[in-house]
Amino acid sequence: MTRVDIHTALVNSVALEIAGITEDTPDPEGGKIHCDSNTGKPTGILKDTAMNLVSKHIPEPTSDDLDEAFSAAQEEALKQGITSVHDITEPKHYQIYNRKKDELKTRLNCIFPINHIEKLLEEKVFDEQSSKSIRSKSVKAFADGSLGSQHRLVF
């Protein structure tokens, strides 16, 4: 489970075991494995690059999984009265949006992580207007740090 700021995750003991994280596992560069101050055992709280120790063991969702998740999310948004969404959009999600553009009932403002900028420019993604419901004109650079996840966890 990832914290709202995407800098901290909480995992269970099974995930720690699968990832091989023990009290002897060193913190990865740019990350922190939080351990119990009394026992020294990992608590399941992983910060920044330490999350990668677990996430690399999670299988990628299939196209069908992503399509199903998209449909469920759109329906839930509509139930809550949400008709427009700003989305930090991975390229694989953008492909889903385009594939499902005739089924869209919400407007999507796609904001791409800046690390994809070269490929997006090469593919002229910012020049196209896929549908009246999809806008793709923005990028997001993550340079904000994680002051909020220093002291308390809100998931």
pLDDT of 4-19, one tens digit each?
777 899 999 999 999 9
Confidence (pLDDT) at 129: 65
DSSP state of 6: S
End-to-end CA distance of the chain: 7
Question: Mean pLDDT over residues 98-119, rounded?
Answer: 89
What is the pTM for the complete model shown? 0.64
Residue 25: HSE in the Cβ half-sphere, 13 Å Cα cutoff: 22
- Rounded to 5 degrees, φ, ψ at 54 are -95, -45
Q: For the residues of 54-65, what is the DSSP string, one character each?
A: HHTTSPPPPHHH
Q: Tens digit of pLDDT for each residue in 10-66?
A: 999 999 999 999 999 999 999 999 999 999 999 999 999 999 999 999 998 998 998
Rounded to the nearest 10 degrees, how much is the dihedral formed by the CA atoms of 5, 72, 120, 131? Answer: -130
Task: Categorize the per-residue pLDDT at 151 as very low, low, confident or very high, splitting at 50, 70 and 90.
Answer: very low
Does the pLDDT of residue 89 top 60, yes or no? yes
For a pLDDT cut of 70, what percent of the chain falls above it?
A: 89
Task: Categorize the per-residue pLDDT at 90 as very low, low, confident or very high, splitting at 50, 70 and 90.
Answer: confident
Name every residue whose Cβ is closer than 8 Å to that of residue 30 and which is 6 or more positions away in sequence. Answer: 48, 49
